[in-house]
Homo-oligomer: A and B are copies of this chain.
Amino acid sequence: MPTALFDKVEERLNSPDLRPRRVLDRCNVETIATTEFALDSLTNHGRLQQLGLGARIRTTYRPDDVCDPEVPDFANNLARFGEITGKDPTVWAGMLDAHRVRRAQFRAMGATATDHGTPTALTVDLAVTEKQALLDRALAAKLDPKGAELFRAQMLTEMAGLSVEDGMVMQLHAGVRRNTDPVLLSQRGPNLGADVPVRCDFVGGLQALLSRYGNSPDFRLIVFTLDETAYARELAPMAGYWPAIRLGPPWWFHDSPKGMRRYLDAMHESAGYYNLAGFNDDTRALLSIPARHDVWRREVCGHLAQMVAEHRLSLSSASELGEWLCYNAAKEAYRLP
């Protein structure tokens, strides 16, 4: 019986109407974005452009491979980064130039946003000599965990600066302890599970980045968290103050019916609905995407319906907000044409 089920699933998955582009058509997906690392060749996106799909399937610049000195082969990654871009990534300014080159290439493949995954939300704004010293030690593989944390923290601030330059929307996914099962990690490799959210300090963490770029008129930072305690305490007040900040939708463990309700309830009063980034999900499971958006639409409507029932919103405002939260917000937040 289990085998029969798997066979049936396999058969369905191979049917033409479940091919990826057919799914996009049937589910009325206007735009979908992948993330590629800084060293990715973008060949597939090039092919998609040739097929006329460039506006529908966009890439996103996710340079963790050259921003996190704790990834394996970091020094090699930086060397390749230099080769690909013709810049010298062994000096801090050259490394930033290499990012500029790649960001432009990603934009040519439809990217409107960057994405950054870090264990914490720490950012710093160090002096040039300190930055170069961190880079030297990273290239020599001599950074201790605290140095690696500082390196990532400085890179977030740099990425914000580059977003101010080129207008790409910056996304931050912070606050996960990855690979907590050493057996899984050694047998199957990284990023396959046993990731657990941890507490995240956005107020202290983002202080350096926001002090530097928080008032730049065109800067936009979409913040995602797995620590729901930050919703009402930190993120909603921060979004209420800083024009740059939009609040990313409930993410990963929290993109569920109750999780979405907690998010909407905790965020809207201090942040306002128009500081929410709408919904996107964060999955490799193509078929789950339309279903997740459906859940979001239902929960948004449930939330708004309660506001109407309690006479806190008019039906026409709720209707407008529903359309905003389910469609326009994401389009506007990500600066999609």
Contacts and interface: CB of A to CB of B under 8 A. Distances in A.
A258 interface: yes
Contacts of A316: none
Given A177-B203, A241-B194, A265-B258, A211 B182 contact: yes
Interface stretch (A44-52, A126-134, A222-230): A222-230
B241 A257 contact: no
A236 interface: yes
A234 interface: yes
Nearest to A193: B241
A197 B269 contact: no
Nearest to A271: B253
Which label, helix, strand, loop or mixed, suits the secondary structure of the A interface? helix
A74 to B, nearest CB: 24
Contacts of A142: none
A26 interface: no
A233 to B, nearest CB: 5
Contacts of A242: 181, 194
B180 A203 contact: yes
A232 B241 contact: no
A190 interface: no
Interface residues of A, number: 46
B241 A269 contact: no
Contact of A257 (B198, B262, B312): B312
A173 interface: no
Nearest to A226: B233
A193 B270 CA distance: 13
B234 A196 contact: yes
Interface string A294-337: 00000000000000001010000000000000000000000000
Contacts of A270: 253, 256
A229 B262 CA distance: 13
Contact of A232 (B234, B253, B312): B253
Contacts of A196: 203, 234, 237-238, 241
B201 A241 contact: no
B238 A233 contact: no
Interface in A180-225: 180-183, 193-199, 201, 203-204, 207, 210-211, 214-215
Nearest to A302: B310
A312 B233 CA distance: 30
Contacts of A177: 203-204
A233 B241 contact: no
A266 interface: yes
Contacts of A262: 232
B228 A233 contact: yes
B269 A258 contact: yes
